[in-house]
A and B are shown apart, each in its own frame.
Chain A
């Protein structure tokens, strides 16, 4: 099952991945990282297709994609 892993320390909560995800399964979560950002999270592993669009748009290389 494809999935993503978000590096919480690199994520800046910009929300571009949330907009980009075609399955709408990325959201800004409630975890706060050391810089004070609410980091993004994948909320439904099952629907991930490993399309990588989130990782591509992420300005901060915060997303790793597994397939």
Chain B
């Protein structure tokens, strides 16, 4: 008998990630670790971490990282890649960090087009701080700062970041995947791997949006979150590749 699937060796086997049960952040950390191992880039890998739930996986994934202030990862990642082109730079952000306070940095980093990998975890709320409305919160979705649900007159529509970024010239690969079942996790893995290969070949900026479960703030079990993603979330945030110039 042969082991055909296992945890990545440099990650922790004894202390799990700090993410809630069923959280897509955890899944993403797993896929990133697998890619780092597959491409053998642990030595040069540098993650720019956000403010938000994102930082809860850093001891499990065991890679060097620089914590950004809220929203600033785009600026930091761009500047580090420009001055340290041999480092592999991944910025990792959630809804508030990338699409709210960090919107300017996100857009301009995408526009400058350095060969960085931008991972955007979209769970349609501000997770860490307890479920406030995010730019990605769905119409009708309740949040702690929109207790009757998001409505378009008062709050505007949810922002579709993958579509927005794909409208710029510099980004070369822009895609949205989901993490709620194995079929979609496999597609997400392919997307992440493609983005990693792009950076290794210095082929330009890649933006990967990942629709994630948030059981705690959606107030559902992880399995219910998976159904919610299938039935509701993907209607607002369609999956697919929005730009591929590789």
- The answer on direct contact between A and B (beta carbons under 8 Å) is yes
Which residues of A line the B interface, CB within 8 A? 2-3, 7, 9-10, 12-16, 18-20, 35, 37, 50, 52-67
Residues of B within 8 A of A62 (CB): 7, 16
- Least CB distance from A5 to B in Å reads 9
Residues of B within 8 A of A52 (CB): 4-5, 182
Among A2, A19, A20, A56, the most chain B Cβ lie within 10 Å of the Cβ of A56
Residues of A within 8 A of B33 (CB): 61
Contact A14 B21 (CB under 8 A): yes
| A interface SS class | loop
Contact B2 A67 (CB under 8 A): yes
* In the complex, per-residue mask of B191-235: 1 if CB is within 8 Å of any chain A CB, else 0: 000000000000000000000000100000111001000000000
Among B5, B180, B223, contact of A64 (Cβ-Cβ < 8 Å): B5
- Least CB distance from B216 to A in Å reads 12
Which residues of B line the A interface, CB within 8 A? 1-8, 11, 13-17, 19-27, 30, 33, 179-182, 185-186, 215, 221-223, 226
- Least CB distance from B108 to A in Å reads 32
Among A14, A55, A66, contact of B1 (Cβ-Cβ < 8 Å): A66
A35–B222 Cα distance when bound, in Å, is 18
For the complex of A and B, 7 pairs with smallest distance between CB atoms: A59-B26, A14-B22, A12-B21, A61-B7, A14-B21, A65-B5, A53-B182
Contact B16 A35 (CB under 8 A): yes
In the complex where A10-B13, A10-B16, A12-B22 touch, is A57 in contact with B5 (Cβ < 8 A)? Answer: no
Residues of A within 8 A of B27 (CB): 57-59
A11–B7 Cα distance when bound, in Å, is 12
A59–B7 Cα distance when bound, in Å, is 11
Chain B residue nearest to A52 in the complex (CB)? B5
- Least CB distance from A18 to B in Å reads 8
Contact A56 B182 (CB under 8 A): yes
Residues of A within 8 A of B7 (CB): 7, 10, 61-62, 64
A53–B30 Cα distance when bound, in Å, is 14
In the complex where A15-B22, A57-B181 touch, is A67 in contact with B4 (Cβ < 8 A)? Answer: yes
Among B4, B13, B185, B226, contact of A9 (Cβ-Cβ < 8 Å): B13
A3–B5 Cα distance when bound, in Å, is 11
Contact A37 B21 (CB under 8 A): yes
